[in-house]
Amino acid sequence: MSYLTITDLQKHYDNYHALRGINLSITEGEFVVFVGPSGCGKSTLLRTIAGLESSTGGTIELDGRDITELASSKRDLAMVFQSYALYPHMTVADNLSFALRLAKVSDAEIQEKVRSVSASLQLDALLERKPKELSGGQRQRVAIGRAIVRQPKVFLFDEPLSNLDAALRVQMRLELARLHKKLGTTMIYVTHDQVEAMTLADRVVILNAGQIEQVGTPLELYRKPNSRFVAEFIGTPKMNLIPADKITHKADELVFDLFGHTIHFPAKRIKGTQPDSTIVGIRPEHLSLVEEGGDLTGRIELVEHLGSEAYAHIQLLNDQTIIVKAAARLELKDGQEVHIKVDVDEIILFDDNNKVISVIPEEA
């Protein structure tokens, strides 16, 4: 059953339409990540759920209650901000207990809760310190602790890890995942980092220009994107997109002409009418370098070695560069001519409107 339901949510600024009819339902205990490029409306959506921004249309329902017009302070949501937003004049202990004191919880209960939260976040030794005496990671933990201690209905995270350095970010990401497992509380998390989205989320909501582009589990989005936008946004390195010059329709297959090369594609995988033009999408790991033959040829422009694997940037005959995942041991020289094999099963086709027109076959 839906716990948080958003129906046709609209947000207009003076002459800017920030949220264009958002419909979304989130079940209790889910970890949902809003992701998208800057300016897509993900933070606005989160802040509207929080009540920090007012909506200009639509409704938000939480646990069976309409909260669209309710003040932030009465929504029973907790939020962790990008800047942590700790109270600088209060100690860690006071930061943690601020909400409880406002709610007039008894002193004994406050002490007990602060103690257990600070123990679980390893903040025990820091309780008497002021925020300015803490490191970035410690501040982050206080901010999270301040949210946990209240036991809210939903946690809202607004890019909480983007101020941390890379190593700490990975560590905190794991801690957040653990925390969600332990608490089982509904969490909504905003980020522009698709890796964070993929690793944390039960479900990812991809936003683009104030609208939901696609909602799904991380794997669904990766394997079955609805649009070119989603396909390009999810996955590093990006999906290769090669426009087909010509399509020849045969009995049960389509033949794409990619500047001299041909690729055969089973016609039954096309949704709807057979297309006259298409863009072929293929991820780097579904391309491989072969000694001879192959479907495409090109020249190596540069190779990125990551240790466990390598990404070869290869210039095709039409001067387009594609990325191919290769084994790390493979000896690759710049300028070398290579043959590339395409895993046709993994090809995704897009039409002129950047919508997906093919389906990936069910795995055997």
Site string for another protein, 154-173 (x = CB under 8 A): --x-----------------
Q: DSSP states of 118-143 as a string?
A: HHHTT-GGGTTS-GGGS-HHHHHHHH
Q: Do the Cβ atoms of 247 and 276 come closer than 8 Å?
A: yes
Q: Up-side HSE of residue 275: CA atoms within 13 Å toward CB?
A: 26
Judged by CB under 8 A, which of 54, 69, 102, 330 binds another protein? Answer: 102
Find the helix or strand (DSSP H, E) in which 144 lies.
helix 136-148
Judged by CB under 8 A, which of 18, 22, 50, 67 binds another protein? Answer: 50
Looking at the Cβ atoms of 77 and 342, the one nearer to another protein is: 77
Q: Does 259 bind another protein (CB under 8 A)?
A: no
Q: Does 139 bind another protein (CB under 8 A)?
A: no
Q: Does 87 bind another protein (CB under 8 A)?
A: yes
Amino acid present at 114: V
| Phi, psi at 91, each rounded to 5° | -70, 170
Looking at the Cβ atoms of 51 and 275, the one nearer to another protein is: 51
Rounded to an integer, what distance in angstroms lies between the CA atom of residue 137 and that of residue 153?
25
Q: Does 103 bind another protein (CB under 8 A)?
A: yes
Q: Does 117 bind another protein (CB under 8 A)?
A: no
Looking at the Cβ atoms of 147 and 348, the one nearer to another protein is: 147
Q: DSSP states of 66-81 as a string?
A: E-TTS-GGGS-EEEE-
> Which window, 16-24, 94-102, 272-280, 283-291, contacts another protein (CB under 8 A)?
94-102
Q: Does 116 bind another protein (CB under 8 A)?
A: no
Please report how close the Cβ of residue 52 comes to another protein at its closest, in angstroms.
5
Looking at the Cβ atoms of 154 and 340, the one nearer to another protein is: 154
Looking at the Cβ atoms of 87 and 246, the one nearer to another protein is: 87
Task: Report the number of secondary-structure helices (H) and strands (E) in the chain.
Answer: 8, 21
Site string for another protein, 66-85 (x = CB under 8 A): -----xxxx--xxx-xxx-x
Please report how close the Cβ of residue 90 comes to another protein at its closest, in angstroms.
8
Rounded to an integer, what distance in angstroms lies between the CA atom of residue 228 and that of residue 208?
12
Cis peptide before 88 (omega within 30 of 0): no
Residue 14: count of CB within 10 angstroms of its CB: 4
Rounded to an integer, what distance in angstroms lies between the CA atom of residue 270 and that of residue 264?
13
Looking at the Cβ atoms of 92 and 239, the one nearer to another protein is: 92
Under rule CB under 8 A, how many of the chain's residues touch another protein?
A: 25
Rounded to an integer, what distance in angstroms lies between the CA atom of residue 75 and that of residue 178?
25
Looking at the Cβ atoms of 79 and 310, the one nearer to another protein is: 79
Strands 77-80 and 154-158: parallel
Please report how close the Cβ of residue 132 comes to another protein at its closest, in angstroms.
12
> Which window, 87-95, 167-175, 258-266, 278-286, contacts another protein (CB under 8 A)?
87-95
Looking at the Cβ atoms of 82 and 336, the one nearer to another protein is: 82
Judged by CB under 8 A, which of 2, 25, 58, 99 binds another protein? Answer: 99
Q: Do the Cβ atoms of 214 and 227 come closer than 8 Å?
A: yes
> How far is the first Cα of the chain from the last one, in angstroms, to the nearest whole number?
32
Rounded to an integer, what distance in angstroms lies between the CA atom of residue 293 and that of residue 266?
21
| Phi, psi at 333, each rounded to 5° | -115, 145
Judged by CB under 8 A, which of 64, 88, 272, 335 binds another protein? Answer: 88
SS3 content of the chain, % helix, strand, coil (to 5): 30, 35, 35
Please report how close the Cβ of residue 33 comes to another protein at its closest, in angstroms.
19
Interacting residues toward another protein by CB under 8 A: 50-52, 71-74, 77-79, 81-83, 85-89, 98-99, 102-103, 146, 150, 156
